[in-house]
């Protein structure tokens, strides 16, 4: 007991989840061979930024990175939370990258978390902040997270590469999460959308909206897409536009799809031209995302493929009751999550494929994680 025993891991895969689960289960970890054979070895900038974020939110955590950045030693501290925290995210990944672990981390803190993140708000790789606001937070509520104090406020947009966006995330504390029985997807009753444009003409938004609505016309009349044209300091530093679509079902499931197009210049001049040539018209982007949303709906499940990871972690963090959820075909990220959950929390899911709908029903017994850092009053 005197010496801390570290869990040894390899590679940079599922870096966020490893850090998150290590912190929640207070297991110290050592990650070896992080991109050891790559051209750019070691931890990347966003990963370092994430480590800093963990350091901001928690107290007494020990992070050691070797010179090349290929080896990380992480000893989790106590999650403190707190108000008026600020974090500057690295611009290599968007806010979605940081928000995914931060949401869960904030739930199990000592004090309610209120943090201001600065950087890129939207990019095509990670879920956009609109998705978080309108889909992810609803998933949390399902698990007994109180809705007051759970909010994401977008104060400024920022698109890659320069960023400049700003969001304010507030997460309340919970004692435990309650297990869910969430197998019914229900029928889609409404589709809502959010488009934004920053430092570009709002025409992009209009054409995206128009195109997206065209796809849904066959299926549902209740489609509403809001636009959000930003200018000035609220628009961040780079030009770009994006769209987020969320379908809400009668059972309270939120299926989302989003993307962002950045019109900005990159540092390497060679890439600029290529990008410009490749860039699709805004209508195509709208059609693509609308189709993607329909694809997600077709796949079934109570969440979309992007949120599978979040859903599984939430199930695993519940009280020691049985959670049952239905998802569409497992995404690679979801599978990775399941493995990590077994690794850190010892939570094993059982699967029951449902052939008639091509979905999978997952069952697990929660790990019974309790927010221990909360003070007894």
Partner 1 sequence: MAADELMPTHKSHRNPKSGPTMKKKSENDKKKRGVPDNKQQNPRAFSFTSADKAKILKLHAAEKEQKRIHLPTIDRNYGDPPPFVVVVQGPPGVGKSLVIKSLVKHFTHQNVPEVRGPITIVQGKKNRIQFVECPNDINGMVDCAKVADLAILLIDGSYGFEMETFEFLNIMQVHGFPKVMGVLTHLDKFNDVKKLRKTKKRLKQRFSTEIYKGAKLFYLSGLIHGKYSKLEVDHLSQFISLSLIKFHPLKWRTSHPYVLADRMEDVTPPEKIQMDKKCDRNVTLYGYLRGCNLKKGTKVHIAGVGDYSLAGVTALPDPCPLPSAAKKKGLRDREKLFYAPMSGIGDLLYDKDAVYININDHLVQYSKNDDEIGDPTNKGKGRDVGEDLVKSLQNTKYSVDEKLGKTFINLFGKNIISTSSERKLEEESSESGDDEAEDCVMDVESSDGETKQKNEIHGGLLRRKAIFKDEGGESDAAMGSDQDDVEGEEDVESDGDESEDGEDDSASDSQELDEDDVEEAGDRVLGNISKWKEPLKEKGTKKNLNLMQIVYGASGSSATTEENDDEDFFKPKGEQNKNLGGAMNVGYVNADDCSRFINYGNLKNWKEKEDCEIIRNRFTTGDWSEAALRNQNSVPGDEGGDFEDLEAENVESGTNQNEDSEAVERRHQKLALRAEFDANNPTYSEAKELGYVDKLKEELETRKQMNMLELNDLDEDTRIEVEGFRTGTYLRLEIHNVPCEMVEFFDPCHPVLVGGIGYGEDNVGYMQARLKKHRWHKKVLKTRDPIIVSIGWRRYQTVPVYAIEDRNDRHRMLKYTPEHMHCLATFWGPLVPPNTGFVAFQNLSSNQAGFRITATSVVLEYNHQAHIAKKIKLVGHPCKIKKKTAFIKDMFTSDLEIARFEGSSVRTVSGIRGQVKKAGKNMLDDNAQEGIARCTFEDQIKMSDIVFLKAWPTVEVPQFYNPLTTALQPRERTWTGMRTFWELRRQHNIPIPVNKDSLYKPIERKIKKFNPLVISKKLQEELPFTSKPKNKPGRKRPSLDVRRAVVMEPGERKALAIVQQLKLMNKVKMIKRKAKEQEKRKEYEAEKAKKEAVFKKRNREERRERYRTEDKQKNKKMRRNQD
The residues in 344-373 that bind partner 1, with binding defined as CB under 8 A, are 345-346, 348-361, 363-365, 367-370, 372-373
Closest distance to partner 1 from the beta carbon of 79 (Å): 11
The residues in 238-257 that bind partner 1, with binding defined as CB under 8 A, are 250
Closest distance to partner 1 from the beta carbon of 309 (Å): 5
For residue 322, give both structure tokens.
Answer: 């049985």
Size of site (CB under 8 A) for partner 1: 109
Contact 141/150 with Cβ under 8 angstroms? yes
Among 100, 130, 162, 166, binds partner 1 (CB under 8 A): 100
In the chain, which ranges are continuous DSSP H helix? 15-24, 45-57, 95-107, 129-131, 137-142, 203-216, 269-278, 282-299, 308-317, 332-344
d(CA 219, CA 82): 45
Q: Is 226 helix (H, G, I), strand (E, B) or coil?
A: strand
d(CA 341, CA 75): 18
Among 88, 181, 201, 231, binds partner 1 (CB under 8 A): 181
122 is a contact residue toward partner 1 (CB under 8 A): no
d(CA 246, CA 108): 28
Closest distance to partner 1 from the beta carbon of 339 (Å): 7
The residues in 293-312 that bind partner 1, with binding defined as CB under 8 A, are 294-295, 297-300, 305-307, 309-310
SS3 of the chain: helix, strand, coil, percent, to 5? 30, 30, 40
Closest distance to partner 1 from the beta carbon of 73 (Å): 14
The residues in 59-88 that bind partner 1, with binding defined as CB under 8 A, are 59-60, 77-78
Following DSSP, what letter does each residue of 106-137 receive, concatenated? Answer: HHTSSS-EEEEEEE--B-SSS--HHHIIIIIH
What are 303's strand-pairing partners? 254
In the bound state with partner 1, the residue whose beta carbon lies nearer, of 20 and 235, is 20
Closest distance to partner 1 from the beta carbon of 271 (Å): 19
What binding mask, one character per residue, do residues 16-55 give for partner 1 by CB under 8 A, x or -?
A: xx------xxx-----xxxx--x-----------------
The residues in 153-172 that bind partner 1, with binding defined as CB under 8 A, are none
Contact 37/70 with Cβ under 8 angstroms? no
First to last CA, the chain: 30
In the bound state with partner 1, the residue whose beta carbon lies nearer, of 235 and 341, is 341
Closest distance to partner 1 from the beta carbon of 88 (Å): 20
For residue 18, give both structure tokens.
Answer: 């490893």
In the bound state with partner 1, the residue whose beta carbon lies nearer, of 134 and 305, is 305
Closest distance to partner 1 from the beta carbon of 232 (Å): 30
Among 144, 149, 283, 333, binds partner 1 (CB under 8 A): 333
For residue 11, give both structure tokens.
Answer: 């590679």
Stretch that binds partner 1, among 81-89, 114-122, 178-186, 229-237 (CB under 8 A): 178-186
Q: Is 222 helix (H, G, I), strand (E, B) or coil?
A: coil
């Amino acid at each position: 007991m005197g010496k801390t025993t570290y869990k040894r891991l390899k590679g940079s895969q599922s870096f966020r989840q490893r850090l998150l689960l290590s912190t929640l289960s207070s297991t110290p970890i050592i990650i070896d061979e992080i991109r050891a054979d790559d051209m750019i070895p070691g931890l990347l900038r966003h990963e370092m930024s994430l480590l800093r974020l963990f350091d901001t939110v928690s107290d007494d955590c020990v992070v050691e990175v070797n010179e090349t950045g290929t080896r990380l030693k992480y000893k989790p501290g106590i999650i403190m939370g707190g108000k008026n925290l600020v974090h500057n995210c690295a611009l290599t990944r968007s806010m979605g990258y940081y928000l995914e672990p931060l949401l869960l981390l904030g739930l199990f803190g000592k004090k309610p978390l209120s943090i201001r993140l600065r950087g890129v708000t939207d990019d095509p790789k990670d879920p956009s902040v609109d998705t978080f606001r309108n889909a992810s937070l609803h998933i949390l509520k399902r698990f007994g997270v109180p809705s007051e104090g759970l909010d994401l406020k977008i104060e400024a947009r920022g698109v890659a590469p320069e960023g400049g966006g700003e969001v304010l995330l507030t997460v309340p504390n919970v004692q435990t999460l309650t297990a869910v029985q969430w197998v019914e997807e229900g029928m889609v009753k409404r589709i809502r959308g959010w488009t934004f444009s920053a430092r570009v003409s709002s025409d992009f938004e209009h054409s995206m909206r128009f195109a997206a609505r065209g796809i849904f016309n066959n299926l549902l009349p209740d489609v509403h897409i809001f636009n959000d044209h930003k200018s000035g300091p609220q628009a961040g530093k780079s030009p770009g536009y994006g769209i987020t679509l969320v379908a809400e079902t009668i059972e309270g499931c939120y299926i989302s799809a989003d993307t962002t197009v950045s019109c900005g210049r990159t540092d390497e001049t060679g890439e600029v031209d290529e990008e410009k040539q490749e860039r699709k018209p805004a209508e195509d982007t709208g059609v693509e995302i609308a189709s993607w949303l329909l694809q997600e709906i077709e796949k079934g499940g109570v969440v979309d493929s992007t949120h599978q990871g979040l859903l599984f972690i939430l199930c695993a963090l519940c009280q020691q009751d049985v959670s049952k959820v239905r998802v569409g075909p497992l995404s690679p990220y979801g599978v990775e999550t399941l493995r990590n959950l077994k690794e850190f929390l010892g939570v094993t899911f059982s699967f029951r494929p449902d052939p008639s709908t091509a979905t999978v029903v997952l069952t697990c017994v929660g790990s019974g994680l309790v927010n221990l850092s909360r003070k007894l009053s």
